[in-house]
Amino acid sequence: MAHGKNMIGGELSAAGTQKFRALNPSTGALLDGDFTEATMAELDKALELAARAFPVYRKIAPEQIAAFLERIGAEILNLGPILIERTSAETGLPAARLEGERGRTIGQLKMFADLVRDGSWVDARIDRPIPTASRLPKPDVRRNARADRPGRRLLREQFPLAFSVAGGDNRVGAGGRESPSS
């Protein structure tokens, strides 16, 4: 299952010369499988591909994005016990906790999908003009939240599922909300 390579643009890449192995913190034993550290060129390529894909992705209908998020949750569940066993070996966390985290992660993806469908995350507002306002005419002001670039997450967590790439530990920017398309 674990191949130790980087997935960039739908292709496996292992250009780096630095290799590392996961360590079971409970036993101190090295786990099977070498992982290849990404090179700067691989990181640059991944970011460039994300930047090129972003304008296309942001035009996708909310229902399709929501279905995509739900599919991610289904695929996490489809990994079955292999995911729990490897995650337990890499973290030293008990399987029961990781099964709970997996459920929470899938639930967060479902809630995120519901939010995308609902559309309230856009926080659309229209303030109509008042040209006859006493001091200065009030202009027509319209606003809504929208993603302006692809999201980037480089993290190391003690919650490997629920607060990781697929989980809900999204850092929010100004306005307190992170958009579903970032």
| Residues 9-68 pLDDT 10s | 999 999 999 999 999 999 999 999 999 999 999 999 999 999 999 999 889 999 999 999
CATH of the domain at 135: 3.40.605.10
Q: For the chain, how many structural domains are there in total?
A: 2
Which pLDDT band, with edges at 50, 70 and 90, does 123 fall under?
Answer: confident
Q: Which residues contact 162 (CB under 8 A, 6 or more apart)?
A: 101, 102, 104, 105, 108, 168, 169
Q: Does residue 173 have a pLDDT over 80?
A: no
Same domain, 36 and 99: no
CA-wise closest residue to 6 among 49, 45, 50, 37: 37
Residues 74 and 46 in one domain: no
Instruction: Mark which of 13, 28, 57 sits at the end of a domain.
Output: 57
Identify whether the C-beta of residue 98 lies closer than 8 Å to the C-beta of residue 87: yes
- In whole angstroms, what is the distance from residue 83 CA to residue 106 CA? 14
- Bridge partners, residue 13, by sequence: 6
* Average pLDDT of the segment spanning 98-124: 91
Mean pLDDT for 103-125 is: 90
Residues in the chain: 182
- The predicted pLDDT at position 122 comes to 83
89-99 confidence digits (pLDDT tens) = 998 999 999 99
Is the pLDDT at 134 greater than 70? The verdict is: yes
- 84 has a pLDDT exceeding 70: yes
Same domain, 42 and 83: no
Are 143 and 78 in a shared domain? yes
Domain boundary among 57, 78, 101: 57
pLDDT in the model for residue 133: 80
Same domain as 158, residue 96: yes
CA distances (Å), origin 54, targets 92, 143, 148, 172: 37, 21, 9, 19
| 47 and 81 part of one domain | no
Q: Are residues 92 and 162 in the same domain?
A: yes
Domain extent, residue 76, equals: 61-182
Verify that 78 and 128 share a domain, yes or no: yes
Tell whether 17 and 50 lie within a shared domain.
yes
Q: Are residues 53 and 101 in the same domain?
A: no
The residue among 23, 40, 57 that closes a domain is 57
For tokens 């999201």, the residue is 151
Strands 141-143, 6-8: pairing is: unpaired
Q: 157 and 87, same structural domain?
A: yes
CB atoms within 10 A of CB 178: 17
Whole-angstrom Cα distance, residue 91 to residue 28? Answer: 11
Whether residue 73 is predicted with pLDDT greater than 50 in this model: the reply is yes
Give SS3 for 59.
Answer: coil
Record the tokens describing residue 182, joined without a space: 């970032």
Let me know whether 77 and 95 are in one domain. Answer: yes
